[in-house]
Amino acid sequence: MRTDKLRRVSLRVANCPERSKSLPRTLRSRAACSLFLLLGLGLTGCASVTDSIVDSSSESRREAMLGPSSNPVTVDNVGGNDRLRRLAAEQHPQIIASYGGEYNDPKLERMVARIVGELTTTGDNTTQIYNITVLDSPNINAFALPGGYLYITRGLLALASDSSELATVIAHEMAHVTANHGIERQKMERAETVASRVAEDLLGSSNAARAAAIRGQLRLAQFSRSQELAADAIGIHATATAGFDPYASVRFLRALSAYTRFRSVTGAKPELDFLASHPTSERRMEIAQRLARQEGGPGVGTRARDAYLAGIDGMIFGDKATEGFIRGRDFLHPRVGIGFRVPAGFVLDNSADAVTAAGPDDMAIRFDGVRVPRRTSLTDYLASGWIGGLDPNSVESGMVNGLPYARARASADGWAFAISVYRVDNTVYRLLTAAPVGTERLAALADQTAGTFRILSQSEKTGLKPLRIKIVTAKQGDTVQSLARQMAGVERKDELFLVLNGLDRNEPVKAGEKFKLVVE
């Protein structure tokens, strides 16, 4: 969670002139319900991840070849006369910073580098140099910059189940680079911007001008969609040539779809522009399945599962201590020393701008913090104009768990808001609970959440550690339920176990197979 960038929302929450820097920046994450749309949270990166395809060879031989290497591929040198790589190199530090830094784990890096090496040495363009970075982000994402800079998050690594699934993601991003998709999209965007300005100059603010702008946006969306499908096809062929399982893309898309369902609470649909620019999972899986069949029947190529799982064993899962931890319905920040709990039925998400929670009936919660001078009382701060639609008669103050506290109500655009603020030193922490106007439970649930805000004890702060991926081997008699019970720090353990391990609900656990657990 970070608080130095507070976005303007529909109820007109303005930026505070003195912004908090006491809460460190967190990693990008996605919106999960209607309040998130009001807050303007979006998706970043390449939202579609592809498929992979493969030639055959001995599984055991390939497992050995794809294991951790003592001499990993390095791709850090930037050609002095390569303009694209120089531009990408300039953006690289900014991307690293915005995603919470690089994730450093030598055995994981060797595993990833080995897969990249397999793809580059067998591809059509063996002279292309790549710089691949594992980002220290729990978000599931992968993207590329022109010039050969590739990025994957540890969140994506936690979702993938074998080397072939990671290979298909990387090959897809390589395809964007080799096909110059980023450059072509920039050209298209510039052309559409010029066309939109011309239409606005000629037609003013008429319906015709708006229609022209919409047509331009749709052309861009269709262009992006065609690029994604082209990258899929190129990536599938590349991973096939490298000897990976061609059906890995289908498995990973299924895992991505299952994770999306796991995270969804309200059933809200993604924003239109996202759907327009990326094929749906069902469509992508159909295309991936068809392309995989062109490379061979089921069983062709390697998955290299054991080598992959060995690489991610011990990897951090979820947030780091510097961003605060989500533990079930609790948000606990050991560095700042504060915490609170959301009601049952809400799912927390620690995003770049705030901590948010999506709940039933389109209800949602947002938490952040700002610097406010101590001379400004909490009631004066609530009434200072940073939030529109405020009911001035609702402002009141008191103490909660030994902390100064004030609360108020507001409404705007068909939404009702309950606002609570707390002072800790020079920082004011803000809890906003939102619901459609007329929601009877709003006041009770907002008060329930507000009453849980507290200062963490020293023992609590010391005891909070990141969650990690642990690889275990199933024993005779193990079930999904018995293995899931070993997980810690997460809600809905059975469901998460199925998602992380790519299992169907009724699929049995086989003795001797390896599985991912989330542990403290």
The pLDDT value given to residue 272? 32
The pLDDT value given to residue 226? 67
How far is residue 332's CA from residue 327's CA, in Å, rounded to a whole number? 7
The answer to whether the pTM exceeds 0.75 is no
* Cβ–Cβ under 8 Å, residues 260 and 358: no
CA separation (Å) from 174 to 25, 231, 271? 29, 8, 27
How far is residue 517's CA from residue 470's CA, in Å, rounded to a whole number? 5
CA separation (Å) from 16 to 35, 395, 411? 20, 19, 20
How far is residue 107's CA from residue 469's CA, in Å, rounded to a whole number? 14
Spell out the alpha helix ranges (H) of 299-441: 305-312, 378-382
Which residues, listed in sequence order, are joined to residue 407 by a DSSP beta bridge?
Answer: 396, 420
List pLDDT tens digits, range 282-332: 888 898 889 989 988 888 899 999 999 999 999 999 998 888 999 989 999
- How many degrees, rounded to 5, is the angle at CA 28 between CA 279 and CA 100? 135
- Does residue 79 sit in helix, strand or coil? coil
The pLDDT value given to residue 38? 33
- Average pLDDT on 381-410 reads 94
The length of the chain is 520
**CATH fit for domain 319-462, picks 3.40.50.720, 3.40.50.2300, 3.40.1000.10, 3.30.465.10:** 3.40.1000.10
- Read off the amino acid at residue 174: M
The CATH code that applies to domain 466-519 is 3.10.350
How far is residue 124's CA from residue 240's CA, in Å, rounded to a whole number? 12
- Average pLDDT on 62-87 reads 41
Spell out the alpha helix ranges (H) of 99-180: 106-122, 154-159, 163-178
Q: Is the pLDDT of residue 73 over 60?
A: no
The pLDDT value given to residue 145? 80
Q: Is the pLDDT of residue 154 over 80?
A: yes
Pairing of strands 467-473, 514-519: antiparallel
Where do we find the tokens 């610097």?
A: 371
List pLDDT tens digits, range 219-275: 434 435 666 777 888 888 888 999 999 899 889 989 988 998 887 753 434 433 333
List pLDDT tens digits, range 493-513: 999 999 999 999 889 999 999
Range in 195-199, 332-336, 418-422 with the lowest mean pLDDT: 195-199
Query: Could you state, in order of their start, the residue ranges of all structural domains in the chain?
Result: 59-314, 319-462, 466-519
pLDDT band at 388; cut points 50, 70, 90: confident
The pLDDT value given to residue 310? 98
For the chain, how far is it from start to end, CA to CA, in angstroms? 21
Q: Is the pLDDT of residue 214 over 80?
A: no
Q: Is the pLDDT of residue 31 over 80?
A: no
CA separation (Å) from 513 to 95, 180, 255, 309, 509? 37, 41, 18, 11, 8
How far is residue 325's CA from residue 23's CA, in Å, rounded to a whole number? 12
- How many degrees, rounded to 5, is the angle at CA 484 between CA 479 and CA 488? 160
The pLDDT value given to residue 375? 93
Pairing of strands 325-327, 355-358: unpaired
CA separation (Å) from 441 to 296, 400, 464? 56, 21, 32
Token couple for 127:
């002279």
CA separation (Å) from 111 to 73, 320, 485? 10, 22, 29
The pLDDT value given to residue 74? 31
Portion of the chain with pLDDT greater than 90, in percent? 48
The pLDDT value given to residue 111? 96
Query: What is the residue-averaged pLDDT of the chain?
Result: 76
Q: Is the pLDDT of residue 184 over 90?
A: no
The pLDDT value given to residue 82? 65
How far is residue 277's CA from residue 105's CA, in Å, rounded to a whole number? 34
Q: Is the pLDDT of residue 483 over 90?
A: yes
How far is residue 142's CA from residue 144's CA, in Å, rounded to a whole number? 7
Secondary structure (DSSP) of 243-257? TB-TTHHHHHHHHHH
SS3 of 293-304: the string is HHHCCCCCCECC
* Cβ–Cβ under 8 Å, residues 412 and 38: no
User: H-helix or E-strand containing 131?
Assistant: strand 131-135
pLDDT band at 91; cut points 50, 70, 90: confident
How far is residue 435's CA from residue 190's CA, in Å, rounded to a whole number? 39
